[in-house]
A and B are shown apart, each in its own frame.
Chain A
Amino acid sequence: MFKLKNFRKRSLWILHYNAGSCNGCDIEILACLGPTYDLERFGVLNRGNPKQSDMLLITGPVTYRSRERVVELFTQMPEPKVVVAVGSCTCTGGVFSGMYNVEDGVDKYIPVDVYIPGCAATPEYIIDGVLKGLELLEHKSKEIVKPKKLFKKLSFHKDHIDRRGIAGKVGENDGKD
């Protein structure tokens, strides 16, 4: 039966963001997209543009400087969307865990759907994780997903929602609602 929803898992566009990674996982991600591992056979493309992406592939332990950007990019992605944390650093902080300039994992800021372990995560794991995310995508709703921190109030206008100001700055009040 023809349902538009079925096409979510046949076409996946990725936004890849490096939140302070050592580049190890990033190289593996690019290897996945290249000819050897060929993620494109699943319809996966790396767009580099949040507005056209369905999946946020995030690497690195989320440094102090990068957390605002992570949230900003996350809020610019249209729903339904999934977040995949690639590598040990992104899951828990990894070897950087507990350091003063690191946030110990991205899930303090945004909801994560798939965790991929490894330092660096191997291409096989990454492919596995991406496909897992692909399955999850089918069960996602189109409601606005709110980041866990650095979130300001949604502003409702007469006939539309304004998402322009929903990602806050560090030091501002989190108006969770």
Chain B
Amino acid sequence: MFEIIFVLSAPLLGGMLQGIERQLRARMQNRMGPPLLQPFYDMFKLIEKRPMIVDEAHTVFAIMHFLTLWAVVAMLVLGDNLLYVIFLHLLATIFLVIAGYSVKSVYSHLGANRELWVLAVYEPVLILFAVAFYLLEGSFSLQSIYSGQAHLFALLPLFAAMVLVALIKLGKSPFDAAHAHQEIIGGVEIEYGGVFYEFLYMAKWVEYIFIYTLFWLFAGSNLLLGIVLLAGVFVLLNLIDNATARIKISDLLKVGLIWGVGLAFINIVGLLYV
């Protein structure tokens, strides 16, 4: 029952999380920052604007991206197969990429291209993440991971790799080249306005829930460790975001493939021999 409520309110919770995050980042920079409910104020304002679209197919793919991500979170939280969830997440990303390609806009295409290039970095890490749990639990079933013991200490290198993935997926410095605001004006999201941009805005909230739930898996059934872990990751991600500057997309690929995939792979080999 709790899971179902959690899934249904995932966009809401993600919005809250973003509100807290904006506050936290402001405090780190020694300023006041927006109110906690700011993401929702933005949402209501967007709904109220005069709607504008480029064309219909372009709009549809953004809606599909949001719906698919929500379905991914549902499958993840309700305890499906971890590997399958990661592949379903790929479908959501592909919807976003197609959305980016489906208009004749330079920045939109640039964003979609970059979305695909960073996919080459984080997707292998996510798959290796699933494999690591397979080695520890004997199956990809999320049910057994949720009820199993905490594996954080066996998976420390992988944890580092996942922090890298989280930075990429949540668009945080130094790995935010895929939707760099000052550089390519948000990439794929550029051509959306008003209520239709709202879907991409909410998709980002759902993405927060997806990534943090993946971190939750490290703690297994240990509730206390889980909460400490999530809070720690939350602060860490924002600290890194505030303290670093963006690196180029080509450097992102190098760093990601060497450190992200490298650490994840070393962890897996380590699990086999220890």
Contact = CB atoms under 8 A, between A and B. Distances in A.
Interface of A: 4-5, 7-8, 10-11, 13, 35-36, 38, 40-43, 47-49, 51-52, 54, 78-80, 142, 144, 163
Interface of B: 22, 26, 29-35, 38, 41-42, 44-52, 181-182, 185-186, 190-194, 197
Contact of A8 (B22, B48, B186, B197): B48
A163 B52 contact: yes
Given A38-B33, A40-B34, A41-B33, A48 B48 contact: no
A11 B186 contact: no
B62 to A, nearest CB: 13
Contacts of A38: 26, 31-33
A78 B45 contact: no
A129 B119 CA distance: 43
B197 A52 contact: yes
Contact of B50 (A48, A49, A52, A80): A80
A8, A36, A47, A78 — most chain B CB neighbours (10 Å): A78
Q: Please give me the 7 A-B residue pairs with the lowest Cβ-Cβ distance, nearest first.
A: A51-B193, A7-B44, A38-B31, A10-B41, A11-B45, A4-B48, A11-B41
B38 A78 contact: no
Given A4-B48, A8-B45, A35-B31, A43 B38 contact: yes
A11 B42 CA distance: 5
Given A11-B41, A36-B31, A38-B31, 14 more contacts: A7-B48, A8-B45, A11-B42, A38-B26, A40-B22, A40-B34, A48-B185, A49-B186, A51-B191, A51-B192, A51-B193, A78-B194, A80-B49, A142-B50
B49 A41 contact: no
11 contacts: A4-B45, A4-B47, A7-B45, A40-B22, A41-B31, A43-B34, A49-B190, A51-B194, A54-B45, A78-B194, A163-B52
B192 A48 contact: no
A78 B32 contact: no
A48 B190 CA distance: 10
A142 B186 CA distance: 26
Contacts of A43: 34-35, 38, 41-42
Contacts of B22: 40
Nearest to B38: A43
Given A7-B41, A78-B50, A41 B32 contact: yes
Nearest to B186: A49
Nearest to B49: A78
Contacts of B31: 35-36, 38, 40-41
Nearest to A49: B185
